[in-house]
Amino acid sequence: MEGYSVLGRIGEGAHGVVVRARHNLTGQMVALKKVPLRRLDQGMPTTALREIKALQEINSQHVVRLLDVFAEGAGFVLAFELMLGDLGEMIRDSTRPLTPPQVKAYMKMLLSGMAFLHDHNIMHRDLKPANLLISETGQLKIADLGLCRVFDREGKRLYSHQVATRWYRAPELLYGARSYDEGVDLWSVGCIFAEMINFSPLFPGESDINQLCVVLQTLGTPNEATWPGLTNLPDYKKITFPQSQSVPLEQVS
C-alpha cells in the first residue's frame, strides 16, 4: 500500500481486513479496507462494487466518507475517514453506559443518515451497531454499504431475503420476502434503538426460525388484519408457531 504507513489492525469483516494507517504526504489518518479478489478472472466482488458506487454518489455528514480506491496485489483497497470506534463497542462498555441524551443524539443522527439514503432510493440492508461508526467528536456515521441496493418504490423489483445480520433482520425477510422496501432498514433501526436502551440485543435468535419465534413471542402472532399481505409471503405456510400475545412495551428487555 504505497503512499500509506500501516499503524495497526482495526478488525476483519466479511469482505476484508481493516487497518489503521497514515497518508505519507498529507499525514491524514485513515481506515484502509483491504478486499481480496478470490479469483482474478471474476473481477471485483459485487458487494464491493455496490459499496464503492454508493459511497461515491453519497454526500452526507451521517455516512462515512470514501476517500480513495486503489489496486493492491491480488485485490484492492478502500480508504475511509478514520473513526474512533463503533456503536456496538459503546453499548458493550459497561464502565461507560450510554446516557439518555447520548441515545437521543445517536438516534437523531442515525435517522438523519437513513432518511438521506432512503430519499436517494438506497436500502442499506445490513444495519447493526457494528456498522455505525463513532468519531472522536461523537458524530455517528453509517458504514459498510456492501449489501446496499437501489430500491423500486413501485415494488416490481425482487431482491435476496438473505440479507441483514439475523438479530436485526425484518420479519418479512425471515418469511422469505423477495419484494420489499426501506422498511427492512427501519426495523433494524428500531432494534438498535432498543439495544442502546437495554444494553443487550432485543431479539437474539439462535437460528433464522428461532429468530422469527423470538420476535413473535414478543410482538404477538400477526394475522392479515394486523399485517396485510402476511399470508402471501413465500415461507408463511412453511413455518408455524403457537399463538402468542404481545408483551407490554415496558416489559420488553
Residue numbers belonging to the annotated binding site for ATP? 33
> Which 8-state DSSP code applies to residue 183?
H
Three cell numbers at 128? 447493526
> Active-site residues: which are they?
126
Side-chain-side CA neighbours of 56 within 13 Å: the count stands at: 9
Closest CA to 34 of 63, 6, 65, 60: 6
* Total length of the chain: 253
Side-chain-side CA neighbours of 197 within 13 Å: the count stands at: 14
Specify the pairing of strand 66-71 against strand 85-86: unpaired
Q: Which residues are annotated as a binding site?
A: 33
